[in-house]
Every structure is written in structure tokens, then in C-alpha cells.
Amino acid sequence: MSDNRQSLSDLASLTQTPAPQPTTDGAPAGGGESTTFDAPAPVVSTMPLRQQELDKYGRAYATGRRKDAVARVWLKPGSGKITINGRDQITYFARPTLRLVINQVFGITEREGQYDVICTVKGGGLSGQAGAVKHGISQAITKYEPILRAPVKAAGFLTRDSRTVERKKYGRAKARRSFQFSKR
């Protein structure tokens, strides 16, 4: 009976072999022979890489939506300046939490201060507008750098948050609230 143990130097020579060769064990296990293989070849992804989508000015364009807000976003390489409706992000979104929401995408992709963002946003309130801008930046950055699509998608930034305000029904004070009951 031969000893099938290999040392570390023997395993290093396996990487230089052209193709994995099956080896049979000397002792039968369970009535049959067991076959072991060397390390399998690495799996190469057959999915095509998405193409970079830029306009004639070298910017990536995307539309972001959240609640009733719609944001049109243009992204280009720059110093990290974010302009919303012609104003700086600090003046437009005074609350730091809203600015944090917008900059989440750059934190995930490790691209802080590398892109300038120009966007116009309409409809909804400030919270919905911040979510719409974040959604637009997420889509635009994946159009500018398609390789970043995986981390942005894994963070859930490419999915449109479809929650909206429920409509008011007739015979009700609001969407579900009844009118106040009066005994007399």
C-alpha cells in the first residue's frame, strides 16, 4: 500500500501542471474506488461588462425617483461639488442627515470628492428629494463606471423605493381615518 500524503513543495508543483489529472486511491472505500482531483480551474464570468454611457460633454445622466420627487442627475469627474437646483448642497439640504443620504453612494464606492454632481429635482418634500438624488447618483455612477454596479446594487441603491402616500378615500377624513363620531 502506497502513502498518498504530499508535502507543501509537492502541492506547489500542481500549479505548474497543464491540466488536472485524476488519481485513484489504493484502498477501496465502500466497495468502489474513490477518485480525487486536483484544484479545479477558475471559473471565468461569461457575462458581458456593461458599456460606459456618456453624453457629448463627457457626463453620465440618470433619473432618480423617490415618493413624489424626481431628480435629473448629471455626473462628471471633478472636485466633489454637488449642485442641486443651482444651489450648493449645504444650502439646499440644510439638515446634515439629508446630505448624508446623498453622499452614501460615494462612501460605498470609495469615490468621495472625485465627481461633480449637477442635478435638478422637482416634487415631493426634502426627504423624498434627497432619496431621489441618491437614486439618481447611484444610477449615474454605474453608467460612468460600470464596474461599480455590483457594490452599489448590493447596497440596494439602484432599487427604486416605490412607497408613496396612500390616497384619500371618500367617506373618510384621510386615507383610513374616519370622521369624528358625534353621539348627538
Within-domain flag for 161: no
Does residue 173 sit within a domain? no
Q: Within a domain: residue 69?
A: yes
* Residues paired with 121 in a beta bridge: 71
Residue 52: which pLDDT band, with cuts at 50, 70 and 90? Answer: confident
Least confident piece of the model among 29-33, 95-99, 108-112, 171-175: 29-33
**CA angle centred on 147, ends 142 and 149, rounded to 5°:** 45
Q: Band the pLDDT of 50: cuts 50, 70, 90.
A: confident
pLDDT at 49: 76
Residues 55-73, mean pLDDT to the nearest whole number: 95
Higher pLDDT, 17 or 71: 71
Percent pLDDT > 90 in the chain is 70
In Å, how far are 94, 119, 165 from 71, measured between CA atoms?
A: 18, 7, 18
For position 117, which CATH number holds? 3.30.230.10
pLDDT surpassing 90 at residue 26: no
Using DSSP, state whether 149 is helix, strand or coil: helix
Rounded distance between C-alpha atoms, residue 135 and residue 87, angstroms: 19
Lowest mean pLDDT across 7-11, 26-30, 76-80, 173-177: 26-30
Alpha-carbon span 120 to 73, nearest angstrom? 7
pLDDT over threshold 90, residue 34? no
> Can you read off the three cell numbers belonging to residue 44?
471565468
Residue 144's domain comprises 60-154
Q: Is residue 44 part of a domain?
A: no
Distance between CA atoms of residues 42 and 49, nearest Å = 18
Cβ atoms of 127 and 92 within 8 Å: the answer is no
Q: Is residue 87 part of a domain?
A: yes
- pLDDT digit string, tens, across residues 98-132: 999 999 999 999 999 999 999 999 999 999 999 99
Sequence-ordered list of residues with C-beta below 8 angstroms from that of 119, at least 6 positions apart, any chain: 71, 72, 73, 74, 82, 83, 84, 85, 133, 136, 137
How confident is the model at residue 184, as a pLDDT? Answer: 85
Flag whether 180 is in a domain. Answer: no
C-alpha cell at 30: 465502500
Q: Which residue has the higher pLDDT, 170 or 31?
A: 170
Number of domains comprising the chain: 1
What are 5-20's pLDDT values in tens digits?
A: 655 556 555 555 555 5
Residues 38-67: what's their mean pLDDT? 80
